[in-house]
Structure 1
Amino acid sequence: MNTSEFSLNFQAFVISTVLSFLSVHSSVVEKPIFKWLNKQTERERSLLVQKHSLKTEQASINMVDEFAKYSKIQRQINSIDGKLEDIRGNKPTNNILVQLGFTYGVKFVLVVMLIVLSLYYRYTPVFYLGNKINLMPFTHFICYPNDINCVSFYFWVMCSAAVSRMLQML
């Protein structure tokens, strides 16, 4: 086995393991992107600062003794809440179709990548087990379409995905 075959085998091993893990745990990819899309704008931050200052001012006022002043501050807070809802409602990630499309879109891309790589690496064993190990009842299942005692890309993707699902249950 020369070094180029070993690097290709190592490459297949790493790529299949990472993509299998990501296909099961796609939220690892989705959450940072959603967080980035939902980050607060400068306008939102300034409105939240105004709202916080009005709330602290309102907390210092006795509602019974100064009801008019308390109500005026409450109307300002309600106005700020309305503006915040308008700003947050215009974000694209608040649409349920966008969220579902993005969630399943990431999974779809990862699965398509696994399929393409399965075709590309179909005759490349991920690693060789050696002659001392005999996997007799399962040899053809583990090795297909490679030689005996080689772990195929297909089998390694299935094993990696199964281990990822087991880790997900923990």
Structure 2
Amino acid sequence: MLEVLNGFLLGYFLVLCTISALVPLLVKPIVACFSRPSQLERKLWDEIVMLKCQQKQISMKDEFAAYSKLQRRIIKLEAELNENSQDRLSKTLAIKGTIHMVLQVVIGLIIIISVIFFRREPIVALKGDLFPLSTLLKYPSDTPNAISTHMWVIISNVSIRALLKPMIS
């Protein structure tokens, strides 16, 4: 029912379409490299933990002034830590969006250039006659009942995205 005419292109476009569909998953580990907490954030966090330990050792009833002083210091440091974390998160979102866009554009350009370069190559040939669809499926190839590179990329892209949608979402 199906005869593979060009196995290399079949696999090549399947891999490209799969990578294109998996870009959201590929972006996460790349962004993780850029979004680590800074040295200042780690230092603030360590100081907050240390102050909270000191505060637990102080009796609130007996030494209210010292307890309150530590509490104000903790609140101030937590506010500073939150501000730094928000800055890092906004930068992370910008980096994530940029990397996602760049990867999609690069993969898209590779697919487009490849489709243009291999436009006359049929990928697979179907047994039997697909009369109403045969012209559309084979365009611009001359092989009867073939699926051209253009249509193969469209079919692969739609199929792979449909299959991987549960994993990506």
TM-score normalised over the length of structure 1: 0.71
Shift of 1:91: 4.7
Shift of 1:37: 0.9
Q: Does 1:140 align with 2:144?
A: no
Q: Would you say the 8 A contact 1:142–1:152 is kept in 2? A: yes
State the match for 2:27 in structure 1.
30
Shift of 1:119: 0.9
Q: Would you say the 8 A contact 1:22–1:28 is kept in 2? A: no
State the match for 2:123 in structure 1.
126
State the match for 2:162 in structure 1.
166
Where do 5+ consecutive residues of structure 2 fail to align?
A: none
Separation in structure 2 between the aligned mates of residue 153 and residue 94 of structure 1, nearest angstrom: 40
Identity %: 27
Deviations along 1:52-83, whole A, 9 cap, x unmatched? 33334434545454332233223333343355
State the match for 2:78 in structure 1.
81
Shift of 1:115: 0.8
Separation in structure 2 between the aligned mates of residue 20 and residue 98 of structure 1, nearest angstrom: 23
Separation in structure 1 between the aligned mates of residue 59 and residue 129 of structure 2, nearest angstrom: 82
Of the structure 1 ranges 105-114 and 82-91, higher mean CA displacement relative to structure 2 is found in 82-91
Separation in structure 2 between the aligned mates of residue 42 and residue 97 of structure 1, nearest angstrom: 21
**What residue identity is the alignment partner of 2:145?**
N
**What residue identity is the alignment partner of 1:35?**
A
**What residue identity is the alignment partner of 1:58?**
Q
Separation in structure 1 between the aligned mates of residue 25 and residue 148 of structure 2, nearest angstrom: 27
Give 1 or 2: higher strand fraction: 2
State the superposition RMSD in angstroms.
3.1
Where do 5+ consecutive residues of structure 1 fail to align?
A: 1-5
Q: Does the C-alpha gap of structure 1 residues 10 and 63 become closer, same or farther in structure 2, counting only changes over 3 Å?
A: farther
State the match for 1:3 in structure 2.
none
**What residue identity is the alignment partner of 1:47?**
L
Q: Does 1:157 align with 2:153?
A: yes
